[in-house]
Chain A
Amino acid sequence: MPDWTTHVIAGWITGKATKSDVSLVVVGSLLPDIFKIQLLFDALQIGTHGFFDPLHTPCGTLLIALMLSLLFKMAGRAFIFLMMGASTHYLLDFFLMHAAGGMKMLFPFSWKEYQIHIISSGNYWVTVSALIIGAIFYFYLTAICQKHLK
């Protein structure tokens, strides 16, 4: 996994660039990592036998986004924004380096795992790059706003 900061910045940029509801897009950008509840069980050395795995699949995320979106008045819009954020999450995770395996993108129809092994999850330069791009984007947006106000 890239760290959550990278995911959130990617979600924030996507939300701002598409003029979406940024608050929901950034929540969506962390949605697939609900799966990380698994770490708690791993720390307690309790085997979960793949029970939580579907949470980090597009199908599982779609269902969670659907459930969450029902807590908003404009459920349809909320669902779209949450899924927009989740898409950025999968896009970033797609490039992670592993010895084998990847993400079950077509689960439950296929258990095949997909991944383009390019970036190590331990590589902090990804986070640094995301922060720089996020900062540039923020100042660009601020400059545009000020230009419009004048």
Chain B
Amino acid sequence: MRRIVAVISVVALLSLMTYSYIEHDKKDPDMDYILTNPEKFEGKEIDFCGRAEEIEPSFIKLRLMEAPYTCINVTGVHSGIKKGDVVEVLGTLKGVDEVKAEKVFVIKKLEYSLIFIRSLPAIPFVLYLFFKKWRFNFKKFMFEEVENA
């Protein structure tokens, strides 16, 4: 019974992931698709995330944090963005490499790095809590409770 459920859940999960992969362009196009087909999205609202590479008075150049990892010029940004900051942009596509921002959300470079640093202590804590109580039995291929846990 366990094996049947395991097979069904693995197949179901892989199906979900494949469905997401196939339908991604239609339902939730990423920047790779948008920039490959700019004519379909010209003048339309798009959103993406990038790291600030150059700050000019009239625009900022963002390096995309997703494929195709190229740079995009974003205009209409007023807030004090600095090089290295992570910037989420909701804006209108104008050509292949320009977006007029309507809404911008900035995470400062240090704040962004700190998210990962703050996450680190959680890993040993979870491992400690888990393996204090459970031990893997390779013969039965199952976790068993540790005695006196």
Closest to B104 in A: A99
- The 0/1 profile, CB within 8 Å of A marked 1, for residues 91-133 of chain B is 0000000000001110110011011101111110110011011
Given A51-B20, A120-B107, residue A30 in contact with residue B122 (CB < 8 A): yes
Question: Which partner residue on chain B sits nearest A127 by CB separation?
Answer: B118
The verdict on A3 contacting B118 (CB below 8 Å), with A23-B134, A67-B6 known, is yes
A149 at the interface (CB under 8 A from B): no
Given contacts A3-B122, A42-B66, A63-B12, contact A70 B129 (CB under 8 A): no
Q: Which of B32, B103, B116, B123 contacts A49 (CB 8 A)?
A: B32
- Assess the A71–B141 pair: CB atoms within 8 A: yes
Q: Is A20 an interface residue (CB 8 A)?
A: no
Q: Are B115 and A1 in contact (CB under 8 A)?
A: yes
Q: Give chain B's interface secondary structure class.
A: helix
Contact A47 B68 (CB under 8 A): yes
Q: Which of A23, A53, A72 contacts B129 (CB 8 A)?
A: A23
Closest to B126 in A: A26
The answer to whether A111 and B66 have CB atoms under 8 Å apart is: no
Set of chain A residues within 8 Å of B9, measured between Cβ atoms: 63, 66-67, 70
- Indicate with 1 or 0, residue by residue over A1-32, a CB within 8 angstroms of chain B CB atoms: 10111111000100000000111101100100
Contact check, B24 vs A50: say whether CB atoms are below 8 A apart.
Answer: yes
